[in-house]
Amino acid sequence: MNMLRILRILCALGGGMLAVFAAMARIPSASQALGLYVGLYSAAFVLYLAAAAIALRSTDRQTLAAVIVFALIFRLALLPVRPTISTDIYRYIWDGRVSTAGINPYKYCPNSPRLAHLRNANWNRVSYRGTNTPYPPTSQIIFFANYKLFGESVLALKAFFVLCDLLLILLILLVLRALRLPGGSVILYAWSPLIVTEFAGAGHQDIVGVMLLFASLCAVFRRRGVLSGLLIGASCLIKPYPIPAIPVVVRVGGGRAMIAAAAIALLLYTPFLSANQNLFLGSLAYLGNWYRNGSIFPLLDSGLSLITAQHQMAAKLLSLVCLVGISLRLAARKEPERVFQSVFTVLAAVFLLSPTVYPWYLTWTAPFLCFLVPVAYGSSSSASFDRLRMAELRAVDFSAIGIGSRSWLLLTGTVGLSYLLPLYGWPAWLQVVEYGPPLILAAASILQARLRCWEPKAR
């Protein structure tokens, strides 16, 4: 297939995805039209897979330019839309409003009479008003700055998140170039319907943490230990998902990375210490009470319920032990080029073992697919690529490729079905449809890797 034909097909698929996103933008309230929203999301994902299959086989600059241009247009199509399928962004703005008023956002829940004078037209949109904020200090600083500069503007906060999103695309391109992987592989992140809808559409703050985490790994790759520690420390204070990955970063970045991460955490928490025992009240409420759309965790919970009445706590402890084991196992690797797949594996384990998995949680893993899925296609000549490729052929390796990166790519599409769970009364069959195909593909990937290991060497 010649380059011009590839470019035309890619643009046609991009145009189809743009039409889908434009249709999403015209839905008055996605929360009241979940079936339509999920149907459009699924259509975008099918087009995305087709486009990715083409872009991964192309190395010309025109293809890369088309990928970047369409990625920008997709985000602009959803940027003006007011989020309805998730109202988290209104909680971000509320926390910023509280901080701007000179009140510690951790001290009171939104329902507190002490904050009654701050209630306004957006009050009814604020989520979980009876719960103290669970968002860590890096998030609070962003919310404060946004409210100070732009007040109640949802568009301004979403625009900041999209800027972080575009910066992450740039970082991915730089690492792809360093690893001598095809630049077109960035399509796996840049065109992902999960990324476009959850950041440009719903306005979730996770993108800031994802960008900081990836920047930290770029610093590790360049052997800048202090910078990597500062960045991963700040990322963990957006959301704590990267915490189990800290041993991996410290192993490569050295003790200075650990000191830097601890120092930035202490520095960022200092302005909020006046909340005293309320500082972690929201986070503890989340950990104790949120159970939605888990995969492995509900199975552990159900099994342990036959043994002990404290089955939820037992399941959480067992999950924690598994995470620690996986983290320490992967921390034994010291090659900088392996840090991306190691961190991906840790994050994948976090979400597989978590009792709660909202679709936007998986955005934390999306950038790594740009490196791991192309490895499965095997189209590069670099030494770094070859080392990544070898990881796939080790059946006992806990690498991301070993558990099937393509299956995780599929999960970023099927996870959209979880939006239908409350609509149908949380049925088990819908979760089987959501998690079943990726698990089957993962099992097939593992079997394929084992068969390759058993193939006799050529004489």
pLDDT at 445: 74
Query: Tokens 């986070």 correspond to what residue?
Result: 283
Cβ partners under 8 Å of residue 178, min gap 6: 221, 384
Sign of CA dihedral 142, 146, 152, 153: negative
Using one digit for the tens of pLDDT, what is the confidence trace for 124-182?
Answer: 899 899 999 999 999 999 999 999 999 999 999 999 999 999 999 999 999 999 888 88
pLDDT at 452: 65
Using one digit for the tens of pLDDT, what is the confidence trace for 211-227?
Answer: 999 999 999 888 888 99
Query: Tokens 């961190």 correspond to what residue?
Result: 343
The pLDDT of 269-292, averaged and rounded, is 92
Sign of CA dihedral 160, 163, 165, 171: negative
pLDDT at 379 over 90: no
Band (384; pLDDT cuts 50, 70, 90): very low
pLDDT at 298: 93
pLDDT at 396: 32
Distances from the Cα of 338 to the Cαs of 34, 239, 343, 424, in angstroms? 40, 24, 9, 42
pLDDT at 449 over 90: no
Cβ partners under 8 Å of residue 314, min gap 6: 304, 307, 308
Using one digit for the tens of pLDDT, what is the confidence trace for 405-446?
Answer: 889 999 999 999 999 998 888 888 999 999 999 989 888 877
Query: Tokens 């241009």 correspond to what residue?
Result: 69
Query: Tokens 């010291």 correspond to what residue?
Result: 334
pLDDT at 397: 39
Instruction: Give the span between the Cα atoms of 306 and 298, in whole angstroms.
Output: 13
pLDDT at 221: 84
Does the predicted model carry a pTM greater than 0.85?
Answer: yes
Band (390; pLDDT cuts 50, 70, 90): very low
**Within 10 A of 195 (CB to CB), how many other CB atoms are there?**
27
Query: Higher-confidence residue: 123 or 364?
Result: 364
Which of 143, 114, 331 is closest to 238 using CA atoms?
143
Band (378; pLDDT cuts 50, 70, 90): low
- Pseudo-torsion of CA 206, 212, 215, 217, nearest 10°? -90
pLDDT at 382 over 80: no
pLDDT at 287: 87
Band (336; pLDDT cuts 50, 70, 90): low
Band (391; pLDDT cuts 50, 70, 90): very low
Beta bridge partners of 292: 356
* Token representation of residue 168: 């992450």
**Within 10 A of 305 (CB to CB), how many other CB atoms are there?**
14
Instruction: Give the span between the Cα atoms of 218 and 229, in whole angstroms.
Output: 11
